[in-house]
């Protein structure tokens, strides 16, 4: 039986996994790395640090897998979006990666928005709000502030492109990750020529567009030695982590919605084709599963609210299991305590509405969890307004470990919420794409639906829903009054 290797490049952590053909995780490796902040609001990543972390994580995964490296049939990748680095004609980086969190290109983002208009950008790219961290903004900043570097630059590569380049010598990007850049036209399935002309870039200075399931190239001997993998194995293009995670969770047809509760709350809803939201509330694009589109609504400050309560009221060493056990003893609605999910909050007191002497730290924890569940309902309601079917929810991320949170979401939404067996959904999705690319699987959607096993289903309890809806309406009223 063949095995498949997968690599997921996060913002501060690399993960690697080895899977068998049935989707079982045989070995997992991870390696953190640090971002540098040369100035306030600037976030950079050294390219070599990224590559070394990839190699370390992959070797860890291989060492923990009960399989021989020679059995690896292909390598698939998943990565964060937007983060970009320039390289010269010899493939050498000319600067650090500028990470998607970066805010230096504020003026450039505003200039692009002013020229094209927010609605035109959305209709072309699916980017609902152009920000300084988008690749288009950053490239424009480099051209303005580093003209010598820009003149000697051969290509701009995103993190996954760079990893593929180090592995194969090929500059390749999938259509979905390209959609994270604001340089890509979803209707044309190609780089957006008008935008590139505006920022002074030729399409040949970006990676070549590939299908997510297509082979980008073969693993070179030097890269194979670094990674501990056999040379010559196919490296499959892979895709954006949000989409890889959806594939790994079996979100491959309309009606299924994945939600990931981590520091932020992000949903991925499969729909019939590319479509946009008239209110520009969410990102949009085409799925890596042929024939479908997606919506990606998100709340930037979500799980961070519970972390804020933990750090302020419990202590950083307290487990979330202990905190949620206390929260479970508090009645629905947290006795009138409401938590704001706003990125600007800096303290528990600032985040809470209606705090009184009767409220304990357990009330605060429950209020944070309910706030995320309410935000999830807001996004599901918005999807429903757009005609996107929502039949069941698959929960991912750290929040999926909490029975209380999953049951809360099921009760509030009146929908089943599933916890998958494999919590490393982005890695599993990348392995599915790798398997399709090398011929292990015949169809991405069919393979993903088979690989994505369900560990537990949290069904809605009708008798609890009314209480949650009352709490939801109370929260809406209080938020409107603040």
Residue 170, both tokens: 């090929």
CATH architecture, range 250-420+452-482: 2-Layer Sandwich (3.30)
3-class secondary-structure state, position 180: coil
Return the CA Rg of the chain. Answer: 22
Strand spans (E) along 302-385: 338-339, 352-353
Burial class from Cβ neighbours inside 10 Å (0-12, 13-18, 19+) for residue 444 reads: buried
Rounded to an integer, what distance in angstroms lies between the CA atom of residue 258 and that of residue 251?
7
Instruction: Indicate if the alpha-carbon torsion angle 238, 243, 246, 251 is positive or negative.
Output: negative
Residue 228, both tokens: 């501990």
Q: How many helices (H) and strands (E) does the chain have?
A: 18, 25
Q: What does each C-alpha distance from 393 to 124, 306, 410 come to in angstroms?
A: 29, 21, 8
| Lookup result for tokens 């905190």 | 323
Rounded to an integer, what distance in angstroms lies between the CA atom of residue 40 and that of residue 36?
10
**Cβ 328 vs Cβ 320: under 8 Å:** no
Rounded to an integer, what distance in angstroms lies between the CA atom of residue 174 and that of residue 211?
5
pLDDT given for residue 425 in this prediction: 94
- Residue 6, phi then psi, degrees to nearest 5: -140, 145
Nearest of 327, 299, 293 to residue 313 by alpha carbon: 327
Say what the pTM is. Answer: 0.92
The full DSSP string for 380-399 is HHHHHHTT--EEEEEEESGG
Rounded to an integer, what distance in angstroms lies between the CA atom of residue 264 and that of residue 261?
6
Same fold, 3-237 and 250-420+452-482: yes
**Cβ 341 vs Cβ 301: under 8 Å:** yes
Alpha helices, DSSP H, located in 96-158: 106-116, 118-125, 135-145, 147-152
pLDDT given for residue 481 in this prediction: 54
Question: Bridge-partner residues for 191, per DSSP?
Answer: 184
3-class secondary-structure state, position 360: coil
pLDDT given for residue 303 in this prediction: 86
**Cβ 410 vs Cβ 416: under 8 Å:** yes
pLDDT given for residue 278 in this prediction: 96
pLDDT tens digits for the chain (482 residues)?
689 999 999 988 999 999 999 999 999 999 999 999 999 999 999 999 999 999 999 999 999 998 889 999 999 999 999 999 999 999 999 999 999 999 999 999 999 999 999 999 999 999 999 999 999 999 999 999 999 999 999 999 999 999 999 999 999 999 999 999 999 999 999 999 999 999 999 999 999 999 999 999 999 999 999 999 999 999 999 999 999 999 999 999 999 999 999 888 999 999 999 999 999 999 999 999 999 999 999 998 888 899 999 999 999 999 999 999 999 999 999 999 999 998 788 888 889 999 999 999 999 999 999 999 999 999 999 999 999 999 999 999 888 999 999 999 999 999 999 999 998 999 999 999 999 999 999 999 999 999 999 999 999 998 899 999 999 999 998 887 54
3-class secondary-structure state, position 156: strand
Rounded to an integer, what distance in angstroms lies between the CA atom of residue 252 and that of residue 425?
13
Domain ranges in the chain? Answer: 3-237, 250-420+452-482
Strand spans (E) along 241-374: 255-261, 265-271, 283-286, 293-296, 298-299, 338-339, 352-353
pLDDT tens digits, 74-104 = 999 999 999 999 999 999 999 999 999 999 9
pLDDT given for residue 1 in this prediction: 67
Mention the CATH class of domain 3-237: alpha beta
Per cent of the chain over pLDDT 70 is 99
363 alpha carbon, distance to own chain's centre: 30
DSSP symbol at 204 = G
3-class secondary-structure state, position 282: coil
């Amino acid at each position: 039986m063949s095995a498949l290797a997968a690599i997921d490049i996060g913002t501060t952590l690399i993960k690697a996994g080895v899977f068998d053909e049935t989707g079982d995780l045989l070995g997992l490796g991870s390696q953190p790395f640090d971002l540098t902040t040369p100035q306030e609001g600037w976030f950079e990543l050294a390219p070599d640090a990224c590559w070394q972390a990839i190699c370390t994580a992959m070797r860890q995964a291989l060492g923990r897998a009960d399989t021989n490296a020679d059995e690896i049939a292909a390598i698939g990748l998943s990565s964060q979006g937007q983060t970009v680095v320039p390289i010269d004609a010899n493939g050498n980086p000319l600067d650090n990666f500028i990470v998607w969190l970066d805010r230096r290109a504020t003026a450039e983002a505003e200039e692009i928005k002013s020229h094209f208009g927010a609605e035109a950008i959305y209709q072309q790219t699916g980017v609902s709000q152009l920000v300084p961290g988008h690749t288009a903004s950053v490239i424009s900043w480099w051209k303005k502030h580093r003209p010598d570097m820009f003149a000697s630059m051969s290509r701009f590569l995103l993190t996954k492109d760079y990893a593929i380049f180090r592995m194969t010598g090929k500059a390749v990007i999938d259509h979905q990750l390209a959609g994270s850049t604001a340089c890509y036209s979803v209707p044309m399935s190609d780089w957006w020529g008008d935008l590139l002309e505006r920022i002074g870039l030729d399409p040949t200075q970006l990676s070549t567009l590939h299908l997510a399931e297509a082979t980008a190239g073969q693993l070179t001997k030097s890269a194979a030695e670094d990674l501990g993998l056999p040379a010559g194995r196919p490296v499959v293009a892979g895709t954006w982590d949000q989409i890889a995670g959806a594939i790994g969770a079996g979100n491959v047809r309309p009606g299924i919605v994945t939600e990931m509760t981590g520091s932020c709350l992000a949903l991925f809803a499969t729909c019939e084709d590319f479509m946009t939201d008239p209110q520009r509330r969410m990102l949009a694009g085409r799925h890596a599963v042929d024939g479908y589109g997606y919506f990606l609504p998100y709340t930037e400050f979500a799980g961070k609210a519970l972390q804020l309560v933990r750090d302020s009221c419990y202590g950083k060493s307290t487990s979330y299991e202990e905190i949620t056990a206390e929260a479970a003893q508090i009645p629905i609605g947290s006795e009138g305590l409401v938590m704001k999910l706003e990125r600007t909050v800096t303290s528990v007191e600032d985040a809470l509405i209606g705090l009184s002497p009767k409220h304990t730290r357990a009330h605060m924890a429950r209020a944070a969890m309910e706030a995320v569940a309410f935000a999830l309902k807001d996004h599901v309601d918005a999807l429903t307004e757009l005609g996107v079917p929502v039949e069941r929810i698959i929960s991912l991320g750290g929040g999926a470990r909490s029975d209380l949170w999953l049951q809360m979401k099921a009760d509030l939404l009146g929908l089943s919420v599933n916890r998958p067996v494999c919590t490393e959904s982005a890695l599993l999705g990348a392995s599915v794409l790798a398997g399709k690319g090398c011929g292990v699987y015949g169809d991405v959607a069919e393979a993903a639906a088979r690989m994505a096993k369900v560990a537990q289903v949290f069904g809605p309890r009708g008798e609890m829903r009314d209480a949650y809806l009352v709490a939801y309406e109370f929260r809406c009223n209080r938020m409107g009054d603040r």
